[in-house]
Structure 1
């Protein structure tokens, strides 16, 4: 078998390609690889060299890895330390902030406690000061009251002794040299409450009664005094200072407040029955509401902004009074006299002024100037009565309303543009008439036709008797034919018993072209009535026919305390013809 094997081993490999002989282990181990070194040697060498190298590398790697881990650990430790430090810093900051906040809170609490203590101490000191001040004021008030009471008691005692010594009458010398200075001095020292006692003493002692030589209290200080509900009939308080005073519902009949300062004084509801005077008083914004008065004298008063609401001002006189912005709502001014008064921007209305006696020269609320008041009714022939209206009923003439005819002879009211009555006056078409209608006679058989009207003068009686009124009568009158036609006015003045005092025949008369005729007259005392007669006269002509009648229009009678500028220089124009 070995031989076969060697032969087999000796076969040419090229001849036996498919057959490969595996070397043995030994052969393999003994086979040389490089530089005469076998694999085993190489392995031995490698194992001898590589193992330490590997261990070294491993050691190096491990060392590097450990260093890396150490670095990472250090980095992590640093980060952790940084985070811890930051956290510690944050905690420290929060703690410091909390400490500061706590300290601030404690400081604030301390400040509040300190402030509260200071306020308490201040309040205590203020309370003590106020208490001391009140006590001081109380002491001063007591002392002042005692002093005022002493002044009043001393004044009353001294005046009582003086009156007793002079048997309750004081002549002018004593009044001027002794009583007046003592009274003014006492009033300056007294309060408003004690001034009431002083004034009542003077009043009840009849030292300040009008008509009894009253004590002169000019410039006396009565500001703020309260005399409400007192009976002060005929008291004289002329030229005193009595602003913001109260006289509510007092009896002030015949009282005299002339030239006094009465700004914002309250007279509401007072009784001023007859003759109470406020001549030239300064009563701006005073309250005269609901007063009851008759013949109140407020001439030249300055009552700017005053209230007269629902006051009874019947027969009151307001000559040249300043009544701008005054309130007259609901006030009664029947027969009141507003001659030259100023009612600019006041609340008085036309319906109230129609009840007044006179208002010529009056400045109305709308700044127009008031004219005189005509006491003749239907003087312009335009008075309406139902369907009878001369301005629209042109088909036939109408009788003169509010006029009575004499012996039933007709007087008619007719429009200027009427052509329905050939026997009546024919107006001149070239003349512009101030009114729409006129009066003329309407008769085919009479040569004289008259109408008349009675005027009562009861509201003027006192002024007529005192001779302080001037009366005027005027009319616009004319005829068509001069020499054969006339128009005249007669004025008969009578007493209450129908006794004729004056017969002013032809007080106005015109027999020529149209003229405005004016006549001044002065009625005698005790006149109570005027009977006004208007006469239309004409002549027969040669053929037996009658001329037409003349005409009259704008008939007026009025009273005044002065001569209106509009008729100065015309008083002698009686139109006699």
Structure 2
């Protein structure tokens, strides 16, 4: 019995071992049959993802290259189109100028030229706008002292009219009679140029570059010059900043001091400029000369001889007079006129030292500056009618320190500087209108204008040299 039981136990044990081994192999096969395909699937997915990522990056790279090529093609096409516009403009304007009856005096031709110019400018970048402006400038089509193409409302931002060949210390090349009234010139460059008789009135010149410029007879009336660069710039004669916005610019105190006017200007530090003309109503604008022709009380009038008299008149009502250069012509602009057949009359103002209290006269580095525009009317006979300018300085005791006299018989702007004496207390500024006889070819009346003056200006400017007086 015991042997039988042992045998049965052995058989059961062997049977269990066989079943266990069989089950292990079955499970192993089952796991293998599941994991291997799963791993293969995962590997396949991973490879697919990597391939998709590579393909996506390749597509992105291809798109970038395609876009760059497209942008380059568009840029080339745009540049070519702009070149064609510029070439067509120059060709059309050249053909127009070569016609026998070409003149900007003709209103129709002037309007056609302006339309062509503004249309071309709207299609050009700053580089080609510069080329266009240089073309019309060199062709004498935009000089404002003669019939010219009006550039009002033109957009000329970033143009470069600087002298790229300028050598430090040498003569600056000139730009004369620039007609940029009410023009957009933001960030434009005029560096290293001498700007003569330039008109930048009411222009937008934000960030404009005037480095090392020298200005002569240039008006920035009402211009926006915020953050403009005036490094090493200087002015020789007549620069006007009246009502200009100079906030943030680096313009020097000397240039502002020597300006003919900074009245109403927004200065670099945000303060307001004040009038620099020591004469009251030197431009005859304090009254409406179309309705009131009487002289302003600021001028003392003295009849010396004869029947001549003085009056304030309007340019609009007197077409036979010449507009002063760089003057702002408006419907109510006035001038001083001398009328009559024969005699002498004078207009005079006195300026006390209290008006000049801010000037460093005691250091001897100030000179007086006086300017005016005068012209005869009618037959020009130098010996018969003229204006005598007389400026005299006095000390506190009434002793004359210095005097300057000039006879003016021809039309023009007159500028003069004179030493400003340290003992100066009072200045007397006198204009005498003199007519010795009437014109022989015309019977004049008491109401005929024989001479007129305008833009009468007296101020003081700083100088690096000290006056030894």
Q: Which is higher, the Rg of structure 1 or of structure 2?
A: 1
Give the RMSD, CA atoms, in angstroms: 4.5
SS in 1 for 2:250: coil
Aligned pairs, how many?
310
**Structure 1 equivalent of residue 197 of structure 2:** 254
CA distance in 2, matches of 1:247, 1:265: 8
CA distance in 1, matches of 2:363, 2:53: 90
CA distance in 2, matches of 1:202, 1:135: 31
Residues 130-187 of structure 1 deviation map (CA, whole Å, 9 limit, x = unaligned): 64664465345434422332123212321x235x535xx6437367544433433333
Q: Is the 1:240–1:260 contact (alpha carbons within 8 Å) kept by the matching residues of 2?
A: yes
SS in 2 for 1:193: helix
Residues 11-62 of structure 1 deviation map (CA, whole Å, 9 limit, x = unaligned): xxxxxxxxxxxxxxxxxxxxxxxxxxxxxxxxxxxxxxxxxxxxxxxxx222
Q: Is the 1:289–1:311 contact (alpha carbons within 8 Å) kept by the matching residues of 2?
A: no
CA distance change for structure 1 residues 226 and 79 in 2, over 3 Å: closer, same or farther? same
Residues 227-253 of structure 1 deviation map (CA, whole Å, 9 limit, x = unaligned): 111631332322211122222222213
Match of 1:165 among 74, 88, 101: 101
Residues 280-304 of structure 1 deviation map (CA, whole Å, 9 limit, x = unaligned): 1012222222223345322211123
CA distance change for structure 1 residues 152 and 92 in 2, over 3 Å: closer, same or farther? farther
CA distance in 1, matches of 2:135, 2:275: 40
Gaps of 5+ in 2: 164-172, 277-353, 375-393, 406-416, 426-457, 461-469
TM-score (normalised: structure 1): 0.44
Residues 190-234 of structure 1 deviation map (CA, whole Å, 9 limit, x = unaligned): 443333343233333444335445543211222221111163133
CA distance change for structure 1 residues 171 and 220 in 2, over 3 Å: closer, same or farther? same
CA distance change for structure 1 residues 90 and 267 in 2, over 3 Å: closer, same or farther? farther
CA distance change for structure 1 residues 98 and 291 in 2, over 3 Å: closer, same or farther? farther
CA distance change for structure 1 residues 107 and 226 in 2, over 3 Å: closer, same or farther? same
SS in 2 for 1:184: helix
**Structure 1 equivalent of residue 5 of structure 2:** 64
CA distance in 2, matches of 1:314, 1:261: 23
Q: Is the 1:253–1:276 contact (alpha carbons within 8 Å) kept by the matching residues of 2?
A: yes
SS in 2 for 1:321: coil
CA distance change for structure 1 residues 62 and 218 in 2, over 3 Å: closer, same or farther? same
Alignment partner of 1:217 is 2:151: yes
**Structure 2 equivalent of residue 188 of structure 1:** 122
CA distance change for structure 1 residues 61 and 72 in 2, over 3 Å: closer, same or farther? same
CA distance in 2, matches of 1:465, 1:454: 31
CA distance in 1, matches of 2:364, 2:67: 77
CA distance change for structure 1 residues 80 and 292 in 2, over 3 Å: closer, same or farther? same
Match of 2:222 among 277, 280, 283: 280
Q: CA deviation at 1:93?
A: 2.7
Q: CA deviation at 1:259?
A: 0.9
CA distance in 1, matches of 2:210, 2:424: 44
Q: Is the 1:224–1:243 contact (alpha carbons within 8 Å) kept by the matching residues of 2?
A: yes
Alignment partner of 1:495 is 2:402: yes
CA distance in 2, matches of 1:297, 1:376: 20
SS in 2 for 1:461: strand
**Structure 1 equivalent of residue 184 of structure 2:** 241
Gaps of 5+ in 1: 1-59, 327-336, 342-370, 378-452, 467-472, 474-488, 500-524, 534-558, 562-577
Alignment partner of 1:318 is 2:262: yes
CA distance in 2, matches of 1:304, 1:318: 13
SS in 2 for 1:225: coil
CA distance in 2, matches of 1:213, 1:462: 30
CA distance in 2, matches of 1:241, 1:298: 17
CA distance in 1, matches of 2:29, 2:139: 98
Q: Which has the higher contact order (CA 8 A, sep 6+)?
A: 2
Q: CA deviation at 1:260?
A: 0.7
CA distance in 2, matches of 1:312, 1:457: 15
Alignment partner of 1:307 is 2:243: no
TM-score (normalised: structure 2): 0.53
CA distance in 2, matches of 1:199, 1:278: 20
**Structure 2 equivalent of residue 347 of structure 1:** none
Give the number of the structure whose residues are more often strand, by fraction. 2
CA distance change for structure 1 residues 313 and 92 in 2, over 3 Å: closer, same or farther? farther
CA distance change for structure 1 residues 314 and 203 in 2, over 3 Å: closer, same or farther? farther
CA distance in 1, matches of 2:138, 2:11: 125
Q: How does 1:160-559 map to 2 (within 5 A)?
A: 160-161=97-98, 165-166=101-102, 170-171=104-105, 173=107, 176-212=110-146, 214-229=148-163, 231-272=174-215, 274-295=216-237, 296-308=239-251, 315-316=258-259, 317-324=261-268, 338-339=273-274, 374=357, 459-462=367-370, 490-496=397-403, 528-529=420-421, 531=423
Q: Is the 2:370–2:459 contact (alpha carbons within 8 Å) kept by the matching residues of 1?
A: no
CA distance in 2, matches of 1:292, 1:218: 27
Q: Is the 1:457–1:529 contact (alpha carbons within 8 Å) kept by the matching residues of 2?
A: no
